[in-house]
C-alpha cells in the first residue's frame, strides 16, 4: 500500500493498494482510446408495437466525444421536445467512444436527427422510460498513451490479485470524475447542502476559483466571492459555464439575499445535477470509509464481525456480480466464517453505506470507522432529509470490485468489465499512478 496522488487524497482516495511503481502514461489522447459499451438490462418491444401502450422509442447511441447530458440537450433541441422526455441508464464520459441506450417519449423513428459524432440505432419501443441504473454494467477497452514503465504491469496485476484473493480487485472507490476532474468541488457543494448552508453551496459552485482554470474564469469566480454582485458577475462569466450563469440569473431575479433565494438558485439546475451534489457528498464519505478500512488492515474480500453484507443480485451475470441491497445481513461472531465462504464464492459482498436517512451503521470495528467519518464531516443520517431532489434515503455499496481483466502490450491496452456504478479509472489508477488529470 502506498500514498495516492494529492488530488485523489482530496476526494477520499488516500492509498493505492499496489506498491509497485506505475506504468505512467495518459488516458484519452483520442476518444477511440477509451471505449465503453453498456451492458443492457432493459426489455424493448418491436418498433411497430402500438404507441399507446409503448410510448417510448428505444435508441442505441454510439457517441464519440459527447458528454451524455450535452448529447441529451442537443437531441432534445433537434427534436423540439423537452429534455425531460429523454432518459438513459448511466452517464458516460465525454472523452470516449460510448455505446448506450436512450428512451425518447412520444418520438417517431423517422424524426431522429442526424448528429455529428453520433450513430443512432432504433432498438424498439418500451412501456416505460429508462431509469438511472437500468443496466448491468459496462465493458471497457482502454489504451494507455506513452507509458513510461510498461514492465510494471505484471507486478501490479499480481498485487491486485493478492488483494482480491485470487482475482484482480481494487477498493470500490468513486472515481475522480464523480467530483470533477479539473475542479473537484461537487462533493463540497453537496456537503454544504446537506449541512443546510445554501448560500455556501452556491458560492462553492459559482465562486471558489481553481488554479487550473483559465484566467477569465478565475477572475469571474473571484468577483462573485468578493462582491456578491450577481448582475455584474453574470456579465463577466464565460457563456460556456451555463450552469453557473443559470444560477446567477436566478439570483439576479430573486435578489440573492436569504437561504430560500440560494436554494432556488440551485433548483434551476437540471434535476440530475441537483441529485449529483448530494450523491457526491455521499461518495466522498464512502471513499473515506474505504481508506480508513485500508488503514486498519481490515479485509475487503471477507467480512469481520459487525460488518453488513449484501447477498448477490440474482439478475446479475456471473462476470458482473453485484449486491442486492435489499438482501442484507449483519455479521455476528457466530456467522463470520459462514458468510466469509459466501463472499469467497461471489454470493455475498462486504458493504459500506452511502449515508442517507434510512442508513443503519455497522457494528464492531467497521461501525467505529463509519461513526468517526460522519463525526469528522459533521453529518448524521437525518441530515439527508432534504427537499426535492436533494433528499436521499441512502443505500449500500460493495467495498470491493473485481475486474475480469486482460492486458495487451502493443499498444498497452486494458480490457475488462465492471458492474454498474463502478469506475474504470479506479482500476487504471492502480496501474498508471499519475496525476488524475492525465486520466481524463
Quick count: other Cβ atoms within 10 Å of Cβ 116? 8
Beta bridge partners, 2, equal 16
Dihedral (C-alpha) 395, 401, 404, 410: value to the nearest 10 degrees?
120
C-alpha cell at 56: 417510448
* Rounded (5°) CA angle 136-278-256: 140
Q: Is 3 a catalytic residue?
A: no
Kindly state the helix (H) or strand (E) to which residue 310 belongs, with its residue range. strand 308-312
Q: Which of 3, 19, 53, 93 is catalytic?
A: 93
C-alpha 84: how far from its chain's center?
A: 21
DSSP 90-125: S---SSSEEEEEEEEET--GGGPPP-TTEEEEEEEE
Q: Rounded CA gap, 184 and 6, in Å?
A: 12
* Residue 249 parent element (H or E): helix 242-254
* Distance separating alpha carbons of residues 17 and 342, to the nearest angstrom: 24
Q: Please give the Cα distance from 42 to 374 (Å, whole number).
A: 37
Q: Parallel, antiparallel, or unpaired: how do β-strands 34-40 and 97-105 relate?
A: parallel
Cα separation, 440 vs 434, in Å, equals: 11
How far is the C-alpha of 184 from the C-alpha of 177, rounded, in Å? 8
Quote the CA–CA distance of 350 and 61 in Å, as a whole number. Answer: 35
b/e map 233-272, b = 16+ CB within 10 Å: bbebbeeebeebbebbebbbebebeeeebbbbbbebbbeb
Who's near 197: CB < 8 A, 6+ residues apart?
none
Residues facing 12 on adjacent strands: none
Point out which residues pair with 86 in neighbouring strands.
104
CA distance 264 to 382: 22
Annotated catalytic residues are: 93
Amino acid at each position: 500500500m502506498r500514498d495516492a496522488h494529492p488530488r485523489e487524497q482530496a476526494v477520499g482516495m488516500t492509498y493505492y493498494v499496489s506498491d509497485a511503481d506505475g506504468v505512467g502514461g495518459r488516458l484519452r489522447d483520442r476518444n477511440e482510446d477509451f471505449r465503453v459499451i453498456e451492458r443492457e438490462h432493459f426489455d424493448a418491444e418491436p418498433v411497430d408495437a402500438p404507441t399507446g401502450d409503448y410510448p417510448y422509442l428505444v435508441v442505441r447511441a454510439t457517441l464519440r466525444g459527447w458528454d451524455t447530458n450535452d448529447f441529451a440537450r442537443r437531441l432534445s433541441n433537434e427534436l423540439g421536445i423537452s429534455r425531460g422526455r429523454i432518459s438513459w441508464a448511466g452517464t458516460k464520459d465525454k472523452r470516449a467512444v460510448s455505446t448506450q441506450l436512450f428512451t425518447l417519449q412520444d418520438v417517431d423513428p423517422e424524426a431522429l436527427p442526424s448528429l455529428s459524432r453520433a450513430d443512432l440505432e432504433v432498438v424498439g419501443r418500451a412501456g416505460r422510460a429508462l431509469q438511472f441504473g437500468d443496466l448491468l454494467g459496462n465493458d471497457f477497452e482502454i489504451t494507455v498513451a506513452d507509458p513510461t514503465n510498461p514492465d510494471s504491469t505484471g507486478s501490479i496485476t499480481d498485487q491486485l490479485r493478492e488483494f482480491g484473493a485470487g482475482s484482480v480487485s481494487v477498493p470500490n472507490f468513486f472515481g475522480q470524475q464523480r467530483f470533477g476532474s479539473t475542479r473537484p468541488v461537487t462533493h463540497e457543494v453537496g456537503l454544504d447542502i446537506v449541512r443546510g448552508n445554501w448560500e455556501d453551496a452556491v458560492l462553492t459552485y459559482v465562486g471558489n476559483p481553481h488554479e487550473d482554470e483559465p484566467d477569465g474564469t478565475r477572475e469571474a469566480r473571484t468577483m462573485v466571492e468578493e462582491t456578491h454582485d450577481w448582475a455584474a458577475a453574470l456579465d463577466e462569466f464565460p457563456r460556456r459555464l451555463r450552469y453557473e450563469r443559470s444560477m446567477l440569473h436566478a439570483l439576479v431575479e430573486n435578489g440573492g439575499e436569504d437561504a430560500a433565494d440560494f436554494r432556488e438558485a440551485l433548483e434551476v439546475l437540471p434535476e440530475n445535477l441537483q441529485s449529483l451534489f448530494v450523491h457526491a457528498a455521499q461518495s466522498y464519505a464512502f471513499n473515506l470509509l474505504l481508506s480508513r478500512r485500508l488503514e486498519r488492515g481490515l479485509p475487503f474480500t471477507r467480512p469481520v464481525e459487525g460488518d453488513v453484507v449484501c447477498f448477490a443480485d440474482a439478475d446479475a451475470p456471473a462476470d458482473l456480480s453485484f449486491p442486492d441491497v435489499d438482501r442484507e445481513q449483519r455479521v455476528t461472531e457466530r456467522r463470520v466464517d459462514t458468510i466469509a465462504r459466501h463472499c469467497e464464492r461471489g454470493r455475498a459482498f462486504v458493504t459500506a453505506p452511502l449515508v442517507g436517512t434510512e442508513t443503519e451503521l455497522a457494528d464492531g470495528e467497521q461501525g467505529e470507522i463509519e461513526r468517526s467519518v460522519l463525526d469528522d464531516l459533521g453529518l448524521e443520517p437525518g441530515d439527508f432529509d432534504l427537499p426535492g431532489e436533494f433528499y436521499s434515503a441512502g443505500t449500500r455499496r460493495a467495498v470491493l470490485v473485481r475486474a475480469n481483466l486482460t492486458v495487451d502490450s502493443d499498444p498497452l491496452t486494458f480490457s475488462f468489465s465492471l458492474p454498474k456504478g463502478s469506475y474504470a479509472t479506479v482500476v487504471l489508477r492502480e496501474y498508471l499512478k499519475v496525476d488524475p488529470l492525465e486520466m481524463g
